[in-house]
Amino acid sequence: MKTKRVTIKDIAELAGVSKATASLVLNGRGKELRVAQETRERVLAIAREQHYQPSIHARSLRDNRSHTIGLVVPEITNYGFAVFSHELETLCREAVSIHQDGVDGISSAGMG
């Protein structure tokens, strides 16, 4: 069963602040806009405890970037293109998962 994604609204309610304040803090603008240090620390602690991850879709809207890869092939029913498409999608999903988990690099070494 899928767990409910933690939202800024959830963080705000748990911290006892407005959604706007939680958003400012979580987007790193709390200090410059004079949100009290105690409030910033409380919001960030709750976000960590709740394993808050920003929504990729909301971030795409904010940044005006879709982070979408287009793949154009002559015939998707061709087995080779279908396998390639499936593998590309799998790798992209893994990359997003790794990024969301906070991994910022992967090292590998060949044998042989």
Per-residue pLDDT of the chain in tens (112 residues, 90 and over written 9): 567 889 999 999 999 999 999 999 998 888 888 999 999 999 999 999 999 988 877 777 878 887 778 888 888 788 998 888 888 888 888 887 776 666 555 555 555 4
Distance in angstroms (rounded) separating the CA atoms of residues 80 and 53: 36
Q: Quote the tokens at residue 99.
A: 């990024």
Which CATH superfamily, name and number, covers 1-67? lambda repressor-like DNA-binding domains (1.10.260.40)
Say if CB 59 and CB 77 are below 8 A apart: no
Q: Is the pTM of this model over 0.75?
A: no
CB atoms closer than 10 angstroms to residue 14 = 17
Task: Identify each DSSP E strand in the chain by its residue range.
Answer: none
Which single residue is written with the structure tokens 């910022």? 104
Say if CB 67 and CB 56 are below 8 A apart: yes
Domain residue limits, the chain: 1-67, 69-112
CA distances from 93 to 18, 19, 83, 99 (A): 33, 29, 15, 10
What is the per-residue pLDDT for 55?
Answer: 80
For residue 73, the number of C-alpha atoms closer than 13 Å in the C-beta half-sphere is: 15
